[in-house]
């Protein structure tokens, strides 16, 4: 008799523990892998033929979704775009009145970053090479591709000599796998600046 009364209580306790653990897991993931500006990311990922999870992974690796981020080298915004690069890219997509102060606007930053990433992808035809160029610059990548120590076919990189760039490419790949899962449940994982929000 006692066992029959105890069983529902134990089941209820187990259920409460499972729910608490699930909520904590979601909150932890949302903290370390934020998902913001999904409408803007989706818009420009589609326009420039990129996967949404790749763009999210690049933003995560570049700025952790902080639109006000500035690197020690001066790259700014969500996708960490240098001033000279931004002024070079803007006219190519019809932004003739672009001012670098606009780089902190998420829509402008994501648009420029997606265009640049897409351009590098078309140029090199290999995502790791494109990401290496995004991080280390095309000049360095061109040198690496010509060097048999780093490239056996002059099209892909067997070894990325810069530790920072090597880690960056690996980090983007890992983040991309995580975002491909999170994007299956966007209502659980979308966050807004400064606070968590289920939407």
The residues carrying an active-site annotation are: 62
- Distance of alpha carbon 97 from alpha carbon 8, whole angstroms: 67
Looking from the CA of 59 toward its CB, the CA atoms found within 13 Å total: 32
Let me know: does 77 contact 109? Beta carbons within 8 Å: yes
Q: CB count, 10 Å around CB of 16?
A: 10
- Distance of alpha carbon 25 from alpha carbon 30, whole angstroms: 9
Closest residue by Cα to residue 104 from 66, 155, 150: 66
Let me know: does 127 contact 121? Beta carbons within 8 Å: yes
- Distance of alpha carbon 18 from alpha carbon 177, whole angstroms: 25
| The two structure tokens encoding residue 185 | 């449940």
Which residue shows structure tokens 């998902």?
35
CA angle 84, 170, 57 (to 5 degrees): 65
């Amino acid at each position: 008799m006692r066992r029959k009364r105890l069983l529902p209580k134990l089941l209820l306790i187990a259920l409460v523990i499972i729910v608490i653990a699930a909520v904590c897991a979601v909150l932890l993931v949302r903290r370390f892998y934020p998902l913001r500006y999904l409408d803007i990311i989706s818009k420009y990922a589609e326009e420039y033929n990129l996967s949404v999870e790749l763009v999210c992974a690049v933003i995560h690796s570049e700025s952790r979704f902080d639109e006000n981020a500035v690197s020690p080298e001066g790259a700014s915004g969500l996708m960490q775009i240098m001033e000279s690069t931004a002024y070079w890219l803007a006219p190519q997509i019809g932004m003739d009145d672009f001012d670098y102060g606009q780089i902190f606007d998420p829509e402008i930053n994501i648009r420029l970053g997606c265009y640049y990433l897409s351009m590098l992808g078309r140029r090199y035809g290999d995502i790791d090479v494109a990401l290496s160029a995004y991080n280390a610059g095309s000049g360095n990548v061109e040198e690496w591709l010509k060097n048999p120590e780093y490239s056996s076919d002059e099209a892909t990189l067997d070894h990325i000599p810069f530790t920072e760039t090597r880690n960056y490419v690996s980090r983007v790949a890992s983040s991309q796998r995580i975002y491909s899962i999170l994007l299956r449940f966007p209502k659980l994982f979308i966050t807004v600046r400064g606070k968590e929000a289920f939407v």
